[in-house]
Structure 1
Amino acid sequence: MKKLFFLSLVLLSLAFSEAIAQNNRRHDTNYNGWFMYFGTHKLTDKWGLHTEFQLRRYHVVSDPQQFMPRVALVYNLSDRASIAAGYAYVHTYPYGDNPAADDFPEQRTFQQLQLKDQQGIFGLQHRFRLEQRWVKFALADEYTYMNRARYQFRATLPLQGTSLEDKEFYLGVYDEVFLNFGPNVTNNIFDQNRAYAAVGYRFHKDANVEVGYLHQHVAQRNGIWFENNHTLQVGLTYNLDFRKKSTVPQE
């Protein structure tokens, strides 16, 4: 009975602490626009180069939020699996109800595994990514090192017929969760979640455009402020093929 009473006190204390933490939380709602370019270019049958640039705006278009170039070397394990390692630079500006004191930079390296599959009319993709982040927070003299893990699940559904062909529309959806780990994790292991839905148009197998909505739920490092970011996303993908073309001598 004493053990049960003690356990009840512990559970009640934890519930009370969680209730206080919930009451201390502040929520910030923002309306953003992300405008993006992606390209994974073939260098050989196995190797490729991923290039990317994202321009992120606060108040959809009027104010700066972030910009990020990213590059990676890609190795194709098979038609449905690839690994990559790369670098990204992220520059963040003050925005929202709880803005940073000033803009600040981030240097980032990352490694990822990407798997593709086809289940009926659905194209499926799993992406696992590890990030090593060096962030020089606003007004700080030194960079802070942090680790983050990300997992994204994406599905693509053709809107004309049972397979996606050139000059056809499709629906794309994904969800991606971000978790902090290792040194310098402060109040939140959970970093953010992104839920996305878009309509896309495939020009041909190496080019498409998507326009969609992203809901980004972000936990700030202080453990008090949580962002609900409603985001317009416009993305262009254009892949190039730099492999040497074999020439067949004419007779």
Structure 2
Amino acid sequence: MFCFLTAFHGISQEEEPEVLPEYSKYKDLTTKTWINTYGNIRIGKRLFWDAQTHLRLEETEATPFVGQVAQVYNRHAIGYIHSKYFNVRLGGVLRLNFNTDEASTDRNLVPEWRIWHQYQFAQALESMMIYHRIRIEHRWTQGFAENSEYIFRNRWRYMFRMKIPLNNHKLKPKTLYVAPEAELIMQSGKAVVASPMEDLRLTTTLGYILTP
């Protein structure tokens, strides 16, 4: 089936036509180092505290490779375990953004606020586990310029992850496993005009199970 769509748009005499750039511009490649901690702490039979902290470094001309402090994350939430295969959580984020532009004369530090909620589904497949994670974030961000207004955006994140045992037939104590994952991050809001896709993250983790 073929579908043809035709759109007509009138421009008044006072309205200037939109001027598009001639070619795409890409940022220079930079090295970023993330040091993260993740903790799920039981506070009841079904309730738990999700405590996450991130220290993110970004290279500059004066500090190549390892770089300088760019962001400090504090992400926390209260989670509820519905079953072995489904859990949810709701919480807030305080992210401190540092100005890594060495030529900038604007402020050095601005806070970013978020509310986030997450829904994680798990399913067993043969000897491995598969996870589907949906995370929604409501963000209030601000530029480094003095008296900058806060901009509101939403982030829509979906992550697919697998846990595959390497030295056992199932995931149990004393098991080494590999966990490939892919996460697609989209964004929406009044300030999002031509970049709805914010990020695509492909990572692989090597893990070891110590206890149940």
SS at 2:210's partner residue? Answer: strand
Q: Is the 8 A contact 2:99 2:144 kept in 1?
A: no
Question: Quick one: distance in 2 between partners of 1:68 and 1:180?
Answer: 19
Say whether residues 1:147 and 2:144 are aligned partners.
no
Question: Quick one: distance in 2 between partners of 1:181 and 1:174?
Answer: 23
User: Which structure 2 residues correspond to residues 1-251 of structure 1 after superposition, within 5 A?
Assistant: 23-59=23-59, 61-95=66-100, 102-141=108-147, 142-205=149-212
The equivalent residue for 1:249 is none
Structure with more contact order per residue of length (Cα contacts < 8 Å, sep ≥ 6): 1
Question: Quick one: distance in 1 between partners of 2:29 and 2:103?
Answer: 10
Q: Give the C-alpha shift of residue 169 in structure 1.
A: 1.9
- Write 1 or 2 for the structure with the bigger share of helix: 1
SS at 1:188's partner residue? Answer: coil
Over 3 Å counting, the alpha-carbon distance change for 1:33 and 1:124 in structure 2 is same
Q: Give the C-alpha shift of residue 186 in structure 1.
A: 3.2
1:6-26 CA distances to partner (integer Å, 9 max, x unpaired)? 99xxxxxxxxxxxx8582322
1:74-105 CA distances to partner (integer Å, 9 max, x unpaired)? 11121110111110111223448999965432
The equivalent residue for 1:244 is none
Over 3 Å counting, the alpha-carbon distance change for 1:98 and 1:28 in structure 2 is farther
Identity of aligned residues (%): 22
Q: TM-score if structure 2 supplies the norm length?
A: 0.79
How many matched pairs? Answer: 189
Q: TM-score if structure 1 supplies the norm length?
A: 0.67
SS at 2:31's partner residue? Answer: strand
Question: Quick one: distance in 2 between partners of 1:140 and 1:156?
Answer: 46
Q: Give the C-alpha shift of residue 124 in structure 1.
A: 1.0
Q: Give the C-alpha shift of residue 144 in structure 1.
A: 1.3
Q: Is the 8 A contact 1:94 1:100 kept in 2?
A: no
Question: Quick one: distance in 2 between partners of 1:145 and 1:68?
Answer: 18
Over 3 Å counting, the alpha-carbon distance change for 1:80 and 1:100 in structure 2 is farther
The letter of the residue matching 2:79 is V
Structure 1 unaligned segments of length 5 or more: list them. 8-19, 206-251
SS at 1:137's partner residue? Answer: coil
The Cα RMSD (Å) is: 2.7
